[in-house]
């Protein structure tokens, strides 16, 4: 998980502070920082959080918001200091324990070396305290799940432990639990496990209950990322067949064909259909990504003028996509 993803999760966790009673009614710092982080404005989030913490140095909510803002700009020393102060003031609050855990884990990930294992242990313990204080804190369970997936066994990593957390999330929130199970399946590159999640997701994915088609997009992105070529094609086709008119399914079906250089004329038709509809962002699907994939398709067909125009359109929608420049492997996976 990228460092700033933890900042996003921590920002979301601040919304849970209302359970702390009247003393936690002042939520403006946390809410404002959350909005700025989620809007992709980390510097502004940190600046706002520092101002709020200076104005109310004994307000644990403002200190937790400062920790979130500091994580967003990758100042992990400041994040740990602020989160420690918030927990010292209100150790019984699950959301503050979660922010503390995320601060320590982010610090360890960014500065791996002597001393990192101690921060990992502190972060892990704080996240577990967050769950003990509120078993329904799904952000805490998700953070613990990701830690268990990513950490080596010597540092506490456990895929089975991650599965248990995904199951606990699903017991409390069906859709979020299925999304968590997708992450576990992807981490293991397990075609059979992903197929089981797909079976369980069938009544929900792509329906009105799947807000923003997030689950459908996650399933398609996960299937497309499998290293097993047969499994990748089989699951992608299966999902597409069940949702052949959904824009997100159109995008991902075409995306895989373009990547593999197959059925390019049909891929072009599906991408143009995706672009002809209102934008759906789910999984890898975006209008910028559709233009980028069309550009790659036209390059394969040696239609240079068309490819150039599609690269221009992609770059106009997403500044990371500079026409004529190769994308990083990570960005390529996101499109």
pLDDT tens readout for residues 69-99: 999 999 999 999 999 999 999 999 999 999 9
Quote the mean pLDDT of the chain: 88
What pairs with residue 285 in β-bridges?
Answer: 282
Go through 107-131 and write b for each residue having 16 or more CB atoms within 10 A of its CB, e for each that does not: bbbeeeeeebeebbebbbebbebbb
User: Is position 26 within any domain?
Assistant: yes
Question: Between helices 94-110 and 76-89, what is the axis angle to 10°?
Answer: 160
Identify whether the C-beta of residue 137 lies closer than 8 Å to the C-beta of residue 94: yes
In degrees, rounded to 5, the angle at the alpha carbon of residue 262 between the alpha carbons of residues 259 and 264 is 90
Task: Classify 49 as helix, strand or coil.
Answer: helix
pLDDT at 275: 96
Structural domain of 72: 1-132
pLDDT tens-digit map of 116-166: 889 999 999 999 999 999 999 999 999 999 999 988 888 888 999 999 999
Q: pLDDT grade, residue 7 (50/70/90)?
A: low
Domain total of the chain: 1
pLDDT tens-digit map of 303-316: 999 999 999 999 99
User: Is position 7 within any domain?
Assistant: yes
pTM attached to this predicted model: 0.82
pLDDT tens-digit map of 228-258: 999 999 999 999 999 999 999 999 999 999 9
What share of the chain in percent tops pLDDT 90? 71
Q: Which residue has the tokens 């040696």?
A: 302
Q: What is the mean pLDDT of residues 162-176?
A: 97
Q: What is the mean pLDDT of residues 164-184?
A: 97
Sequence-ordered list of residues with C-beta below 8 angstroms from that of 308, at least 6 positions apart, any chain: 295, 323
**Range 310-314 contact pairs with CB under 8 angstroms and sequence separation of 24 or more:** 314/288, 314/289
What share of the chain in percent tops pLDDT 70? 88
pLDDT at 326: 55
pLDDT at 4: 45
User: Is position 237 within any domain?
Assistant: no
pLDDT at 284: 80
User: Is position 8 within any domain?
Assistant: yes
Q: Residue 316 phi/psi, 5° resolution?
A: -70, -25
Sequence-ordered list of residues with C-beta below 8 angstroms from that of 334, at least 6 positions apart, any chain: 284, 289
Tokens of 260: 């593999």
User: Is position 65 within any domain?
Assistant: yes
Tokens of 151: 């950490």
CATH code, domain with 104: 1.25.40.10
User: Is position 115 within any domain?
Assistant: yes
User: Is position 324 within any domain?
Assistant: no
**Range 199-207 contact pairs with CB under 8 angstroms and sequence separation of 24 or more:** 202/242, 204/174, 204/175, 204/178, 205/178, 205/239, 205/243, 206/242, 206/243, 206/246, 206/248, 206/249
Identify whether the C-beta of residue 123 lies closer than 8 Å to the C-beta of residue 102: yes
pLDDT at 271: 97
How many C-beta atoms lie closer than 10 Å to residue 204's C-beta?
Answer: 15
Handedness of CA 10, 16, 19, 21 (dihedral sign): positive
Q: Which of 76, 88, 58, 92 is nearest to 10 (CA)?
A: 76
Q: Which residue has the tokens 């299925």?
A: 178
Tokens of 102: 């995320």
Tokens of 330: 């990570």
User: Is position 203 within any domain?
Assistant: no
């Amino acid at each position: 998980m990228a460092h700033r993803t933890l900042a996003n999760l921590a920002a979301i966790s601040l919304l849970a502070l209302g359970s702390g009673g009247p003393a936690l009614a002042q939520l403006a710092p946390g809410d404002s920082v959350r909005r700025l982080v989620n809007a992709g404005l980390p510097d502004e989030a940190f600046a706002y959080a520092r101002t709020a913490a200076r104005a109310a140095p004994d307000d644990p909510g403002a200190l937790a918001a400062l920790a979130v803002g500091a994580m967003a700009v990758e100042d992990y020393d400041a994040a740990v200091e602020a989160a420690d102060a918030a927990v010292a003031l209100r150790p019984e609050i699950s959301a503050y324990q979660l922010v503390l855990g995320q601060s320590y884990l982010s610090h360890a990930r960014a500065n791996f070396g002597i001393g990192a294992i101690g921060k990992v242990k502190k972060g892990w313990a704080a996240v577990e305290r967050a769950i003990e204080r509120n078993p329904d804190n799904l952000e805490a369970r998700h953070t613990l799940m990701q830690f268990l997936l990513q950490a080596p066994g010597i540092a506490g990593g456990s895929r089975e432990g991650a599965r248990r957390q995904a199951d606990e999330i699903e017991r409390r929130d069906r859709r979020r639990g299925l999304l968590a199970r997708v992450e576990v399946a992807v981490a293991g590159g397990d075609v059979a496990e992903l197929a089981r999640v797909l079976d369980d997701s069938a009544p929900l994915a792509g329906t009105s209950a799947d807000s923003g088609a997030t689950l459908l997009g996650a399933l398609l992105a996960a299937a497309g990322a499998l290293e097993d070529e047969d499994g990748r094609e089989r699951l992608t086709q299966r999902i597409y067949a069940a949702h052949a008119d959904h824009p997100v399914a159109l995008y991902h079906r075409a995306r895989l064909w373009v990547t593999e250089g197959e059925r390019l004329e049909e891929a072009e038709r599906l991408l143009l259909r995706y672009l002809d509809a209102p934008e759906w962002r789910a999984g890898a699907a975006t209008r910028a990504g559709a233009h980028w994939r069309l550009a790659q398709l036209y390059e394969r067909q040696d239609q240079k003028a068309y490819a150039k125009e599609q690269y221009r359109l992609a770059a106009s929608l997403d500044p990371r996509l500079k026409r004529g420049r190769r994308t990083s492997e990570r960005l390529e996976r996101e499109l």
